[in-house]
Structure 1
Amino acid sequence: MGRGKIEVKRIENNTSRQVTFSKRRAGLMKKTHELSVLCDAQIGLIVFSSRGKLTEYCTPQLSMKQMIDRYVQAKGISIPDRNNRTGPAPYNDQMYKELTQMQRQTLNLQVTLQRYKGDDLSSFQFEELRQLEQQLEHSVDKVRARKFQLLHEQLENLKKTELLLEKENQEMYHWLMSSQIQKQAEIEHNQEAMKELRLIEQQPLLNQLFPFFGEDVDQEQPSSVLQLATLQPPHYHRLQPTHPNLQDFGTSSDYGAT
């Protein structure tokens, strides 16, 4: 099947239009070069894109100016020079007016720039100098206001940065303190565990030194010093002597002698 006929109209999509322009421009330049070489033709091609980008092609060994001069000569058209007012009167008058207006605007801009720079103020009158001073003061106020605005924005940014850093420092301090407290608690816990371990290791020696309740083996023995302190002391019975006291015996002898 052959290719379908493409309707020639403006492409609305910007991307598609740019891609099509690039492809067809390259093809146009290639065909123009082939035509110039194969047929020994003198060709001058000028293309402006929709964005104002210039693309041109001229037959080798010739310049675009030569091609334009030859075209003007062949068509009988005269291009007016800005210093030589020749050609049709309405066209030349319009061009001259536009050129004069542009020169005047350029001169005014140059003079204004010199005034702002303070160059060549000898020809200015008092009123002109006063107006220039007011304009400069107004400009300085704008510059100063903009400078203060930038300084204020920088100061606000520095304050925000300071607050963020201070917050980070506080969080870091709290984290360090909590870590230190946790570490201290672990140390104390380890010390308590070591103490209990030592008491457990000393328990057999305590049982040997402090037996409880005589021969009652079934009674539960204390496992630590704390339980030892809470237990009630054993009841001891006073034994009566089987023999009388010798002192008492001597006294009763004396009574018998009496």
Structure 2
Amino acid sequence: MGRGKIEIKRIENTTNRQVTFSKRRQGLLKKAHELAVLCDAQLGLVIFSHSGKLFEYCSPSSSMRQIIDRYQKATNIRIEEAGSQHQILCEISKLRNENDKLQAGMRQYMGEDLTALTAHDLDQLEEQLEYSVNKVRARKHQLLHQQLENLRRKEHLLEDQNSHLYHALVEQQAAMEHQHQQAAAAAEAEQKISEIPVLEFPHFYHDEASRTFLQLSPQLHPFRLQPTQPNLQDTSFGGHGLQL
């Protein structure tokens, strides 16, 4: 019975990935040695593990330096460029490894890929999660306390505004009542004035010819005109004074 096909993709489990790397590395080095011996080929093999460990192999009749120089001459690549490219590749590999570790840690925080962790690793993960939960809970309580304080301040402001509006309404009602009292007093005074009897005025007769008014009063009291000047009392009037 033949072996089933293995899907070629990254192995998520760290332990399984390390075991597979060791097996495949040994097989690759064996194949490179067979190719160099059986075919008299010059080859160089460089392998960096997941943790950055270096593994290399070169054909028995040459060294790794000779193979690299021959490669540079064949591809017309200078040593500086090769060194720069090697540094870039190493940096890329380092960043990729860090990214893989971060993704694995995130999955573990989400409760995934926990099969490769030991009891000690699980204890540390549990402590870290509890610490994170306490930090989140403390921040939540802080925000709730701030919201409560804001609501209390708003309550005090609304109470002050309500009190101010109440006093303004009371003052307005008092002013309106005072105005009503003044209007009632004025109406009462007008009513009392209207109840006073009207005095009868004497009759006037209108003279159409002269268009003047002559007032004839039935109660005319007689009066006397007594001259006080000496010349009016002169004896030339025959001793008779002018009397009315």
Question: When the two structures are superposed, what TM-score results if normalisation uses the length of structure 1?
Answer: 0.43
Question: When the two structures are superposed, what TM-score results if normalisation uses the length of structure 2?
Answer: 0.46
Bigger relative CO (Cα 8 Å, ≥ 6 apart): 2
Asked which structure has the greater CA Rg, the reply is: 2
